[in-house]
Amino acid sequence: MKKLIVFSLLAIGLLSAAAIRQNDKYFEILKNLDIFATMYKEVNANYVDDLNPNTLMRTGIDAMLGSLDPYTVYYSEDQIEDVRTENTGQFGGIGAVIGERDGGKVVVVLPNEGYPAQKAGLKRGDEIIAINGIDVKNDYDKASLYLRGQSSSSINLKVLRPGEGPLDFKVDFERIELPNVPYSGMVDAKVGYIKLTGFREDASKEVKNALRELKKEGAEKIILDLRDNGGGLLNEAVNISNIFIDKGQLVVTTKGKLEEMNATYNALNAATDTEIPLAVLINSSSASASEIVA
């Protein structure tokens, strides 16, 4: 009976100590939030120049998360469309490659065949100076922001075309799909090459289809190019790995602070080819899902 009482008291003591530590942590969190809120109000009220409170808060959030790692980030409501594009490769756009040229000019680099930009009459080399009456001259970031929208809408572009002066175009937005595998082909008679630029939806299907086509063309070895691929969906990394490794093999494990966040990911399907020699190309910009596959 004495032993039972001692063990019970010990358990109660350990639980109490844990509760005290947890309460201390919550107290520190609340105290620091109060300090932050007070500082935020004081700077906003007394700083010599006018400040944008939203910009000030966003800077604070980004700096806080930036002290952790590159992959802990905050997305605001107006960035949701960008996140959706990253994960699906689909967005509303005009179907043209836009770039910076000659000291910051926003220029149409390539109007894609069959898409709205080409249909409306935009040509390579056109400089975009205004979108819906908003000046975007020499402002690539602003132009990129306004060149995306809902696929049912349209925009008015003012461009400068060499030898013709300012021209006005009305261009529809259309659903644009970015491929995960923009290119695959034969390097020589026996070596096939697959360029994988993203891990969005259907990435594994695109890699698998490219592999099968290359083997039909005589490929006996494969180069999988993951250079500058910053990653994407974890399940697509697992499925792409599964193309080359047997069902049931471990691909990756994840571990979080909470035990329920821990997970193990195995290859779930029969492999497409486990024997073909495979070279994987990576560089310093190959991250996340690219690292898992490599």
Beta partners for residue 154, in sequence order: 172
User: How do beta strands 165-172 and 105-111 pair?
Assistant: unpaired
- For residue range 259-285, list pLDDT tens digits in order: 888 999 999 999 999 999 999 999 998
Q: pLDDT value at position 90?
A: 58
> Which pLDDT score, from 0 to 100, does residue 2 have?
47
Q: Any idea which residue has 């790995």 for tokens?
A: 241
Alpha carbon separation from 51 to 10, 47, 78, 142, 245 (Å, rounded): 55, 8, 20, 21, 55
Residue 154 sits at φ, ψ, to 5 deg, of -145, 165
b (16+ CB within 10 A) / e for 163-181: eeeeeebebbbbebeeebb
Per DSSP, the residues of 62-101 read HHHHHTT-TT-----GGGHHHHHHHHH-EEEE-SEEEEEE
One digit per residue, pLDDT tens: the chain, 294 residues? 445 455 555 555 555 555 566 677 888 888 998 998 998 889 888 889 888 888 888 888 888 888 988 778 887 776 666 666 666 655 678 888 788 877 788 999 878 778 899 999 999 889 999 999 999 998 888 888 888 766 667 899 999 998 887 999 999 888 777 789 989 999 999 999 999 988 988 999 999 999 999 999 999 999 999 998 889 899 999 999 999 999 999 999 999 888 888 999 999 999 999 999 999 999 998 989 999 999
Supply the pLDDT for residue 153: 78
For tokens 């990253």, name the residue: 86
d(CA 19, CA 2): 26
Cα distances from 119 to residues 215, 247, 276, in angstroms, run 37, 47, 44
Among 244, 176, 177, CA closest to 204:
244
Quick one: pLDDT at residue 51?
Answer: 84
- CA 36 to each of CA 32, 47, 91: distance values in angstroms, whole numbers, following the listed order: 6, 16, 37
Rounded CA gap, 270 and 244, in Å?
9
Q: What is the pTM of this model?
A: 0.62
Helix axes 203-216, 234-244, angle to 10 degrees: 20
How deeply is 108 buried, as exposed, middle or buried, from its count of CB atoms within 10 A (0-12, 13-18, 19+)? buried
Structural domains of the chain sorted by starting position, each given as residue range(s) with its CATH number in brackets: 2-74 (no CATH), 86-177 (2.30.42.10), 183-293 (3.90.226.10)
Taking Cα atoms as reference points, which of 177, 239, 231, 230 lies closest to residue 208? Answer: 239
Distance of alpha carbon 263 from alpha carbon 101, whole angstroms: 47
Q: What's the pLDDT tens digit per position in 74-120? A: 877 766 666 666 666 556 788 887 888 777 889 998 787 788 999 99
